[in-house]
A and B are shown apart, each in its own frame.
Chain A
Amino acid sequence: MRARGSWRRRDLSKQSPGLTERPALGGSLTAVGRKGLQEWGTEKILFLFALSAITGLALIAFFILHEGLPIIISKGLQGFVLSTDWAPSAGRFGILAMIAGSVAVTGGALAVAVPLGLGSAIALTEFCPRGPARLLKALIELLAGIPSVVYGFIGLVVLVPLIRNVLGGPGLSVLAASVVLGVMILPNIVSISMDAVLAVPQSYREGSIALGATNWQTVHRVVLRAARSGIVAAIILGMGRAVGETMAVLMVAGNSVLVPHSITDPVRTLTSNIALEMGYAAGEHRQALFATGIVLFVFIMILNAVAAWASRRRT
């Protein structure tokens, strides 16, 4: 960093009268050589910077695997991924119930967020004047940054008692987690699918209207089909966020290690399993939590790959 700054200062001083006073070709070999060296150095440093993200990803993958893989190997897939028996003190680490929990909660979140989000996106892009639509989109995007702990808290003080009183059970449940997560990923889904719908060329709509279709027929037979891959990408990104969310789920899902049979059952997800027990885990138990992280990581990477594939197909 410091080195880069000093190059720049040297350039400035040399060029102070203006860019025209540069040495003519072959005029000063040392100056040209130094400049070439500076450029070469800058490029190499920027290249190293550019490797930061991929290095970070590689480090994360390496350390999570390094910490978690031994236990998967020693317990086998059978005893780890396909078992529902999670008893860390007895050395049994089956995470099937947590996988089921993550799947249930993510499915529930999508059931809440996809209809609402897609519906809003269509209404705002196709049936709303431009000004108000933009304003509402901005409002929705503004809310995308609300910390997940706040979503979880509202779920805890509003939704959980409501579910307990109306549907019975402990209140802390698949349903509570699904609604909280669903609302949480709504801004992302609305914003990305609005972009996808807006990217459909106006001529498609005009063509369809000219053939005598109503606006709605145009929307669901032409626009939605043309925007399909963008919408799929929006949904998958929302899904990734729902699978990976920790704090909000931790606060409202109840966290019992059970395969849920109804939406009012409490569940524990992969993420909350890590967050709950990391504080005191040691030895094999800690390895098992890292192994839970591996499973989560694999899930997310698959979703990322699908999302990348969907958005490549769009262009």
Chain B
Amino acid sequence: MFSAKTEQAIAKSLLWLCTGLTIMALVFIVGFVLVHGLPGLNLSFLTEQPRRMGKEGGVFPFVVATLHMTGLAILIAAPLGVGTAIYLTEYTRESKLTVVIRSGADCLAGVPSIIFGLFGFVFFVIRLKLGWSMLSGGLTLALMVLPTIIRTSEEAIRAVPRAYRDVAFGLGSTRWQMVTRVILPSALPGILTGVILSIGRSVSETAAVMLTAGSSLKAPLSPLDPGRNLAYHFYILATEGISKSNAYRTAAVLILAILLINFSAYWLMRRFVARRS
């Protein structure tokens, strides 16, 4: 029909069209939120109490809730995830068991957040009697980000050259000394990348938090206090028509936070890769 050259020209322009549309769509989303949300956004928005259900005032309690739950989630998931990765790479051989552990983590990574929410509700909130609280939310989020931490830590640990291990053993260190003094320091940037990505995921999670952490307007100080995180507060602002301008501002805060978090993860990853090669 066409000569090979014309065909290539057509294909190329279609492909570039796709690329253009993809990038435009993503830039549009960020741009739209920032254009509407940045004006009127200042530090006091983050530090002020909300007034009239969030129609006026700031988002201070929701920032606290977000940090609280994210902190708990990472505090629980990071040792478990890194421990799993150490076990898989340093303490065992490939076997049926490692296959089961890995595919379990992969499956967990694919579970939708609303299912985590359902589980967190019935297990942490009701069965363990933790109620709608930061702890219930944090535990649910921990389970959710666990696969990410396992996967990235395992990759980072595997990337540490074999020679490092041989030298450590050659100097007479035990396996645990080798892990803590040789492997972990040199895999640290890779592990941190996973942790930072998990922070990002915890900050932006809504569905699971909605069912496990409650929706109090007060700042949760104890792990057993209920509270809503920034993302859930934004959802309420946006869908219940409470305040459009505050919704835009909250969205801008969320986007800026996520971009900052992802950018630092990316930067660390780049440094890690650069050091390895």
Contact = CB atoms under 8 A, between A and B. Distances in A.
A binds B: yes
Interface of A: 1, 7-8, 11, 15, 19-20, 22, 35, 38-39, 42-43, 45-47, 49-54, 56-57, 59-60, 63-64, 67, 115-120, 122-124, 127, 136, 138-154, 156, 158, 183, 186-187, 190, 213-217, 219-220, 237, 240, 243-247, 251, 271, 274-275, 278, 289-290, 293, 296-297, 300-301, 303-304, 307-308
B119 interface: yes
A146 B81 CA distance: 24
A57 B257 CA distance: 30
Nearest to A53: B105
Contacts of B259: 142
B4 A308 contact: no
A149 B201 CA distance: 13
A296 B14 CA distance: 36
Contacts of A138: 266
Contacts of A152: 235, 238
Contacts of B191: none
27 contacts: A15-B177, A19-B173, A42-B176, A45-B83, A46-B83, A49-B79, A50-B84, A52-B83, A64-B118, A117-B22, A119-B17, A119-B19, A123-B19, A142-B263, A145-B197, A145-B262, A146-B255, A147-B206, A150-B251, A154-B32, A186-B22, A216-B4, A217-B4, A244-B110, A247-B235, A290-B118, A304-B110
B150 interface: yes
A289 B19 CA distance: 40
B53 interface: no
Nearest to B7: A216
Given A148-B206, A215-B8, A293-B115, A50 B235 contact: no
A153 B119 contact: no
**Residue picked from B18, B86, B171, most chain A C-beta under 10 Å:** B18
Nearest to A127: B12
A170 B108 CA distance: 37
A243 B112 contact: yes
Interface of B: 4-5, 7-8, 11-12, 14-19, 21-23, 25-26, 28-30, 32-33, 79-81, 83-84, 86-88, 91-92, 100-101, 103-108, 110-119, 121-123, 127, 143, 146-147, 150, 171-177, 180, 197, 200-201, 203-207, 210-211, 231-232, 234-235, 238-239, 247, 251, 254-255, 258-259, 261-263, 266
B143 A56 contact: yes
A51 B262 CA distance: 29
A116 B26 CA distance: 12
B80 A54 contact: no
Nearest to A60: B119
B111 A57 contact: yes
A267 B103 CA distance: 34
Contact of A116 (B18, B107, B174): B18
A56 B114 CA distance: 15
Given A216-B12, A275-B114, A251 B23 contact: no
B147 A145 contact: no
A120 B18 contact: yes
- The 8 A-B pairs of least Cβ separation, nearest first, read A244-B112, A119-B18, A49-B83, A147-B204, A54-B104, A216-B8, A123-B15, A46-B87
Contacts of B251: 150, 153
Contacts of B25: 116, 183, 186
A165 to B, nearest CB: 18
A118 B101 CA distance: 32
Contacts of A290: 118, 122
B103 to A, nearest CB: 7
A14 to B, nearest CB: 11
Nearest to B112: A244
B113 A244 contact: yes
Contacts of B80: 49, 52-53
A52 B84 CA distance: 8
Contacts of B176: 7-8, 11, 38-39, 42
Contact of B180 (A8, A49, A219): A8
Contact of A246 (B4, B103, B112): B112
B18 A115 contact: yes
A158 B32 contact: yes
B129 to A, nearest CB: 15
A275 B172 contact: no
B88 A50 contact: yes
Contacts of A301: 107, 110
Given A1-B79, A39-B175, A149-B234, A52 B146 contact: yes
A304 B123 CA distance: 24
Given A119-B18, A290-B118, A300-B111, A150 B87 contact: no
Contact of A122 (B15, B28, B32): B15
A124 B19 CA distance: 8
A121 B207 CA distance: 30
Nearest to A48: B83
Nearest to B103: A308
